[in-house]
């Protein structure tokens, strides 16, 4: 009895402990294939179902589930980028006898599928199959047609139930040898090709040039690109940075249509070239092999029509001269109401006389007349058609009577007395008495020469402000108005001083200066002006006026609050600051003016500005709360500024208009606060002198 039990144990032990484990790993898809994770999982399930059909459990095969594989994978181990020996090593880690994985990639314009079967003990590739299709459904058909034969290869190494011992996997073999790999560069001419090596698409090289890792030894490289013939080559990989160059031949031909104009009449504005039904230009075209009809049209030349047979990788260049087109012309001319015989010219060459009937070139310049006077005709010529045209000549101009020329002097504005006497002698009514006219001209030049030799007193320089009395030459009274652009400078309103080390915490700020950089406003000025000119070239200008200034700025300032206690988290917030300010001031500029007579003037001097009323408001919004600050009537109501002006004077009747642009720069702050800003203004100033 014991011997019988021992025999049963020997017979059935392999069936109970030596089951063959097959792991179907998740299908991996290249990013450019745009195959979703759900589609990859479904592809994996189809492969696993095929394995169940071919390798049933009753024949001592175990198809590992997705959950089995996930649990047995060591932490941090993934199979997405694993290939070849790496897959076999992964199979050993999950105690699988065979490991299967499918890869989806892009080859040319199609999706490709490659499935590989590795024996984990030896690391050898036991079987594989490939296929391609336009979409995922086509790849599923590849799986259905080839997967069963694919999994039967496992049975070649494992005997099924039905007598004898099953395949006993004792894990005694250990493969330590592995082929060396090199990182190489793959370059194609032209670039942009998809690469496959040994019939397997390379997902990391879908557009050359690219850098990939390849095992040493001989490999078959194949490059595929749209509109180019595939380029393949067997290359032995033996070192790093080795370059594999694949040159592809175009699967199309080159055609360049470049007609030549034989004369100056041609230009590309009226040129039309058709290849088939497509309007093309002179640039070289890439055309698929075939026969193409070509039409070349130009309004000045005969049309051309022909066919061109384009072959792969061949260049064709059409550079023939065009032939000038011909039109018929029937031309008659009338002059003074009667038919006239005049010469006919084409492009400056006489071709006959009117009435004319004959050929003329298209786009030619046609004129009629004689060698001294010709009239150009605008005749709409038609190719291979006769155009009838009638032209009426302009009347010939009458000959002009001879006139004795003499200069007529232009009155001078310097000396009115001389101008009044410097008149041109009246011409005699008798046009034919030439001698009398010559005598008058001679007498005129004698008197002109005598007056030119008399000394002319040099006038004294005058002020630009035109006056009628000595008193008015000294002082002037007027009014002014100005439009101002207001800004601040010299401060950040204390925002930069918020940052610092405090008791128990530290504050850091960013963009504290943005508030003043974004501040701007418009204002107005108006008042009276007094100008005292001590000399035509310089004087003193004093103004007394009211000014209204206003401005606003809004910005975000970042504030970081870091506690000294490490247990407290740091805090950060973007604080929104809205600052508004307006003032009513009395401005008293005291300026020194320098004149450039009849051109412009410049002014410079100090300005005293007295604040009559003021108001400012600041609103702060933050995660720590919202606050508003208001301030009215500064404690210090006086500021000192510096003004620079460039202007000009324009006469308006008997009075003068004063136009200038001014720059006012604050020398002192608006108030006594340490963070108070200084003013910066640009004024567009208009003055009117009424005295």
Please name every residue paired with 297 in a beta bridge, in sequence order, or none if there are none. 272
Q: Looking at residue 636, what is its pLDDT?
A: 57
Point out the domain boundary residue: 155, 171, 196: 155
What's the number of CA atoms in the CB half-sphere (13 Å) around residue 274? 11
Question: Looking at the 3D structure of the chain, how many domains does it have?
Answer: 5
Which residues are within 8 A (CB) of 501 and not within 5 positions of it... i.e. 6 or more apart?
none
Cα angle: 213, vertex 216, 221; to 5 degrees = 70
**What are 523-572's pLDDT values in tens digits?**
999 999 999 988 888 899 999 999 988 877 777 777 777 888 887 787 77
Is 241 found in the same domain as 257?
A: no
Q: Looking at residue 179, what is its pLDDT?
A: 75
Q: Looking at residue 332, what is its pLDDT?
A: 92
Whether 348 is covered by a domain: the verdict is yes
Q: Looking at residue 88, what is its pLDDT?
A: 74
d(CA 102, CA 100): 7
* Under 8 Å between Cβ of 111 and 104: yes
Whether 675 is covered by a domain: the verdict is yes
d(CA 592, CA 603): 5
Q: Looking at residue 160, what is its pLDDT?
A: 43
Cα angle: 88, vertex 89, 93; to 5 degrees = 115
* Under 8 Å between Cβ of 235 and 209: no
* Under 8 Å between Cβ of 270 and 300: yes
Domain of residue 233, residue span? 181-247
Is 68 found in the same domain as 135?
A: yes
Q: Looking at residue 459, what is its pLDDT?
A: 53
Whether 461 is covered by a domain: the verdict is no
Is 537 found in the same domain as 610?
A: yes
Whether 575 is covered by a domain: the verdict is yes
Q: Give the CATH number for residue 185.
A: 2.60.40.1120
d(CA 138, CA 161): 36
Q: Give the CATH number for residue 129.
A: 3.40.50.10070
Point out the domain boundary residue: 392, 414, 449: 392
Is 684 found in the same domain as 568?
A: yes
In order along the chain (691 residues), what is the average pLDDT of each group of 10 residues?
40 52 90 88 90 88 82 64 66 85 89 90 86 90 89 72 47 59 94 92 92 92 93 92 94 92 84 92 89 93 93 91 92 89 90 91 90 86 92 74 44 43 46 65 70 59 42 75 83 72 81 68 91 88 91 78 80 78 90 86 93 83 74 69 92 82 88 76 90 80
Is 381 found in the same domain as 480?
A: no
Provide the sign of the torsion angle of the four alpha carbons 512, 518, 524, 527, taken in this order.
positive
Q: Give the CATH number for residue 504.
A: 2.40.128
Is 306 found in the same domain as 333?
A: no
Is 243 found in the same domain as 211?
A: yes
d(CA 277, CA 361): 29
Written as one string, the DSSP assignment of 322-357 is P-B-EEEEEEEEEETTEE---EEEETTEEEEESSEE
* Under 8 Å between Cβ of 480 and 690: no
Q: Give the CATH number for residue 305.
A: 2.60.40
Whether 110 is covered by a domain: the verdict is yes
Is 142 found in the same domain as 185?
A: no
Is 259 found in the same domain as 228?
A: no
Q: Looking at residue 458, what is its pLDDT?
A: 56
d(CA 441, CA 449): 12
Is 515 found in the same domain as 373?
A: no
Whether 548 is covered by a domain: the verdict is yes
* Under 8 Å between Cβ of 23 and 62: no
Is 676 found in the same domain as 527?
A: yes
Strand order in the sheet with 315-318: 285-287, 253-257, 315-318
Whether 6 is covered by a domain: the verdict is no
* Under 8 Å between Cβ of 116 and 101: yes
What's the number of CA atoms in the CB half-sphere (13 Å) around residue 399? 2
Is 310 found in the same domain as 223?
A: no
Whether 495 is covered by a domain: the verdict is yes
Q: Give the CATH number for residue 359.
A: 2.60.40.10
Point out the domain boundary residue: 155, 173, 190: 155
Cα angle: 150, vertex 62, 7; to 5 degrees = 115
């Amino acid at each position: 009895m014991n011997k019988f039990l021992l025999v049963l144990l020997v017979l059935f032990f392999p069936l109970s402990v030596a089951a063959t484990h097959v792991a179907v790993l998740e299908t991996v898809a290249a990013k450019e294939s745009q195959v979703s994770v759900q589609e990859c999982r479904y592809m994996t399930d189809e492969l696993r179902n095929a394995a169940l059909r071919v390798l049933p459990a009753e024949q001592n095969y175990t198809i590992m589930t997705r959950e089995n594989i996930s649990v047995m994978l060591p932490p941090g181990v993934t199979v997405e980028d694993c290939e070849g020996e790496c897959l076999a090593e992964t199979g050993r880690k999950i105690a699988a006898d065979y490991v299967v994985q499918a890869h989806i990639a892009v080859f040319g314009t199609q999706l490709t599928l490659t499935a590989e079967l590795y024996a984990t003990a030896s690391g050898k590739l036991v079987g594989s199959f490939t296929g391609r299709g336009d979409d995922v459904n086509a790849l599923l058909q590849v799986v259905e047609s080839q997967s069963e034969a694919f999994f039967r290869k496992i049975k070649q190494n494992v005997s099924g139930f039905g007598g004898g011992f099953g395949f006993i996997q004792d894990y005694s073999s250990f493969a330590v040898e592995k082929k060396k790999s090199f990182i190489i560069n793959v370059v194609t001419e032209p670039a942009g090709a998809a690469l496959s090596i040994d019939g397997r698409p390379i997902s990391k090289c879908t557009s050359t040039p690219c850098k990939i890792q390849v095992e040493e030894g001989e490999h078959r490289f194949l490059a595929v690109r749209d509109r180019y013939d595939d380029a393949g080559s067997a290359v032995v990989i033996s070192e790093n940075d080795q370059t594999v160059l694949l040159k592809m031949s175009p699967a199309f031909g080159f055609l360049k249509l470049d007609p030549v104009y034989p004369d100056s009449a041609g230009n590309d504005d009226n040129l039309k070239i058709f290849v088939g039904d497509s309007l093309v230009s002179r640039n070289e075209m890439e055309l698929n092999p075939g026969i193409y009809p070509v039409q070349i049209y130009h309004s000045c030349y005969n049309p051309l029509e022909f066919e061109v047979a384009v072959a792969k990788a061949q260049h064709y260049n059409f550079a023939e001269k065009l032939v000038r087109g011909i039109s018929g012309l029937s031309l008659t001319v009338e002059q003074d109401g009667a038919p006239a015989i005049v010469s006919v010219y084409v492009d400056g060459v006489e071709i006959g006389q009117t009435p004319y009937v004959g050929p003329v070139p298209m786009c030619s310049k046609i004129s009629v007349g004689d060698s001294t006077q010709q009239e150009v005709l605008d005749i709409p010529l038609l190719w291979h058609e006769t155009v009838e045209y009638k032209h009426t000549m302009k009347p010939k101009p009458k000959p002009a009577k001879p006139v004795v020329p003499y200069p007529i002097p232009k009155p001078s504005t310097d000396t009115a007395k001389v101008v009044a006497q410097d008149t041109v002698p009246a011409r005699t009514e008798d046009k034919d008495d030439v001698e009398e006219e010559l005598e008058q001209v001679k007498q005129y030049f004698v008197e002109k020469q005598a007056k030119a030799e008399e000394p002319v007193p040099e006038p004294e320089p005058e002020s630009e402000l035109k006056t009628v009395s000595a008193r008015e030459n000294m002082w002037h009274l007027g009014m002014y108005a100005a439009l101002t652009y207001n800004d601040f400078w010299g401060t950040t309103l204390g925002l930069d001083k918020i940052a610092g080390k405090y008791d128990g915490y530290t504050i850091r700020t960013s963009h504290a200066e943005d508030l003043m950089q974004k501040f701007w406003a418009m204002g107005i000025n108006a008042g009276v002006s007094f100008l005292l000119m001590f000399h035509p070239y310089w004087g003193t200008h004093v103004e007394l006026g009211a000014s209204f200034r206003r401005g606003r700025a809004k910005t975000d300032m970042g504030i970081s609050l870091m506690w000294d206690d490490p247990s407290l988290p740091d805090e950060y917030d973007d604080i929104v600051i809205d600052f508004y300010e307006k003032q009513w001031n009395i401005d008293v500029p005291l300026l020194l003016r320098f004149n450039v007579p009849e051109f412009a003037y410049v002014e410079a001097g100090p300005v005293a500005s007295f604040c009559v009323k003021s108001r400012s408001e600041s609103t702060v919004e933050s995660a720590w709360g919202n606050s508003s600050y208001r301030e009215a009537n500064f404690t210090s109501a006086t500021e000192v500024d510096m003004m620079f002006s460039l202007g000009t004077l324009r006469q308006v009747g008997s009075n003068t208009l004063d136009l200038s642009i001014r720059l006012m720069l604050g020398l002192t702050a608006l108030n006594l606060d340490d963070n108070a800003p200084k003013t910066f203004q640009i004024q567009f100033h208009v003055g009117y002198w009424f005295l």
